[in-house]
Structure 1
């Protein structure tokens, strides 16, 4: 479904029910959908672990996919301030490299992206609450979402166990005072029994709009057509201000 009004100043934090549920694919589809709606859009993955040296620079597939899907060309260090080598939990990858993931570079990169694009889609790491640093200054991806103060889009990998994982993640998002702006069903198991019935159950139980269902193995640019991004407009400050004025009147 295409929006009926232009989109301005959109940003969201995309998390998943677990690692490997297709967050990057969903983010790329969202970016393509925003592009189709005429919005200058850019993706951001503040922390990425798992990269290889390729053509003279460190390459991460997720970061590359987000950069390809966006419509605004930005410096790579804004897309991913913390690009780590080892494919493991970010706090462990950082420790192995003698680094520490800290909030300020992420905050600054996000602010720079918002100044350059009408929409910023921020992808988390793994599930909702993945450690970024331990010790006295410990924090995790849930803290990252709170720091950026963004509405959350939840990617649900449609496979056995997704109902429980989705319910727990939605509860964790709301417990941190964040708004669950919507969720995306990503069909990652083509052989799952009663997949449609599971999605119907999620529609009834999550208490947030379903932005769409992404088919199995469909390219993100094509999958974008299955998304309804209109609920993201309702999460923008501009739209909320208009609603408040209408209620006051």
Structure 2
């Protein structure tokens, strides 16, 4: 069983697209999968309760199927930082509770590949003491880093990689996701930026996803030239 934490260089870097695509890739290889987004803000009210679109995308790619509550146990309506959304809902986010819930889920729902998606970037707060990065740190999970490819991504990616290393964790691989189509207009400069990332990030590039008109696991999958997922076992 392989479990990874997926983080990004920023909000809207492409974490959910990458996570759902990796899960779809694993399913296509005949592996069982589970996508988890323990905390999500920015959700809509439905007849069955609050639902977050990112968590729903991960639920679709979890095979065999699991309940929404398994994928996303903490869900909030406003599209703001999770700790602020929790405060507005008179709830408290606690890293110990989140880690305990995730641990129970992993024990009860063992899959060949499990991906736990964070929210925003590496240092997004859970409360005034804990950050999202404390989840993979306490669980000692390898990290998949999603780099939102746009102006400024070199700094964001390198600082995030340094923070992950400072927390004692390993980057298992990184994926580039073009979030600004204008960033690729100068192909030579775009290639030069990718070269810097490949030379400076302490992990292999798992793929570069271009800006897609209709982003989905189906449209993104051809751009992720991954090794067999069984080779990405947690040490």
Confirm or deny a common fold (TM above 0.5): yes
1:224 paired with 2:216, answer: no
Write the deviation string for residues 33-83 of structure 1: whole angstroms up to 9, x where unpaired: 111121100100011011111233211111111111222211222211211
Stretches of 4+ aligned residues off by more than 6 angstroms: none
Aligned mate of 1:153, from 144, 147, 159? 144
1:73 paired with 2:65, answer: yes
Q: Secondary structure at the match of 1:100?
A: coil
Partner of 1:38: 30
CA contact (8 A) 1:79 1:109 kept: no
* Root-mean-square deviation over aligned CA pairs: 1.7
Please give the alpha-carbon distance, in whole angstroms, between the structure 2 residues aligned to 1:145 and 1:76.
21
Tell which deviates more after alignment, 61-70 or 113-122.
113-122
Give the 5 Å matches for 1:107-186: 107-114=99-106, 115-116=108-109, 117-134=111-128, 138-186=129-177
Please give the alpha-carbon distance, in whole angstroms, between the structure 2 residues aligned to 1:176 and 1:119.
23
Please give the alpha-carbon distance, in whole angstroms, between the structure 2 residues aligned to 1:82 and 1:181.
27
CA contact (8 A) 1:28 1:221 kept: no
Please give the alpha-carbon distance, in whole angstroms, between the structure 2 residues aligned to 1:124 and 1:98.
22
**TM-score, normalised on structure 2?**
0.90
Aligned mate of 2:208, from 213, 218, 229? 213
Shift of 1:222: 3.0
Structure 1 pair 198–231 and aligned structure 2 pair: CA distance change class (3 A): farther
Shift of 1:234: 4.5
1:29 paired with 2:21, answer: yes
**TM-score, normalised on structure 1?**
0.85
Shift of 1:196: 2.5
Please give the alpha-carbon distance, in whole angstroms, between the structure 2 residues aligned to 1:30 and 1:79.
16
1:61 paired with 2:53, answer: yes
Aligned residues: 227
CA contact (8 A) 2:26 2:229 kept: no
